[in-house]
């Protein structure tokens, strides 16, 4: 069975990038960044080795890429927030621009205070654990979708791949 590490690392980096700071807002669309990262994993693997893999193997590869990507994104988001480049600033700007006129001034002030206080390391870790679990679920979905979409070359019979002929 060909090595999957390079493909999983590539998918993890895509997942992390699309889950970091302002780009992380893409995950508000049904974890689109995580699904894309998992699909990149399968796309790279099937394209590099010209293989068709079953949905189960794609799902496992997607989970691995999503989990590694979520860990990287959690660390990056913490450090970006510490230097003032976190997504909180974008969310605050969005609320002020779109809802500021309709919100009571006290509520806007309370939102500003909460955003300025930032999150503690413990809160980031808790959010990271939740993010890893959610990412694993959507990574499996993205990997399975990738396996269905990116079918290449021969069906591999080793390592849990589909036997020749495409039926199990």
Q: State how far Cα 163 lies from the chain centre.
A: 31
Q: What is the DSSP string of the chain?
A: ----HHHHHHHHHHHHHTTSGGGGGGGGTTTHHHHHHHHHHHHHHHHHHTEE--HHHHHHHHHHHHHHHHHHHHHHHHHHHHTT-SHHHHHHHHHHHHHTTTS-HHHHHHHHHHHHH---HHHHHHHHHHHHHHHHHHHHHHHHHHHHH---SEEP-STTPPPTTS--
Query: What integer pLDDT is reported at residue 156 of this predicted model?
Result: 53
The residue ranking higher by pLDDT, 112 or 33, is 33
Residue 85 or residue 152, greater confidence: 152
As beta bridge partners, residue 147 has none
Q: In this structure, are residues 104 and 51 in contact, taking their beta carbons and an 8 Å threshold? A: no
Looking at the predicted structure, is the pLDDT value of residue 162 above 50? no
Answer whether 0.75 is exceeded by the pTM.
Answer: yes
List, for residues 114-130, the tens digit of each pLDDT value: 766 666 778 778 888 99
Alpha carbon distance 43, 60 (integer Å)? 14
């Amino acid at each position: 069975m060909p090595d999957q590490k390079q493909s999983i690392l590539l998918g993890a980096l895509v997942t992390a990038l699309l889950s970091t700071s302002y780009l992380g807002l893409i995950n508000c669309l049904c974890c689109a960044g995580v699904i894309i990262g998992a699909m990149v994993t399968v796309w790279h693997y099937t394209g590099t080795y010209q293989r068709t893999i079953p949905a189960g193997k794609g799902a496992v590869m997607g989970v691995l890429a999503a989990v590694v990507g979520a860990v990287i994104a959690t660390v990056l988001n913490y450090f970006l927030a510490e230097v003032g480049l976190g997504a909180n600033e974008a969310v605050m700007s969005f609320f002020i621009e779109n809802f500021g006129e309709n919100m009571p001034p006290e509520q806007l002030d309370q939102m500003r205070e909460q955003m300025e206080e930032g999150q503690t390391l413990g809160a980031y870790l808790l959010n990271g654990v939740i993010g890893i679990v959610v990412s694993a679920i959507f990574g499996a979905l993205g990997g399975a979708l990738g396996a269905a979409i990116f079918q290449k070359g021969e069906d591999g019979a080793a390592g849990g791949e589909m036997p020749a002929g495409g039926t199990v």
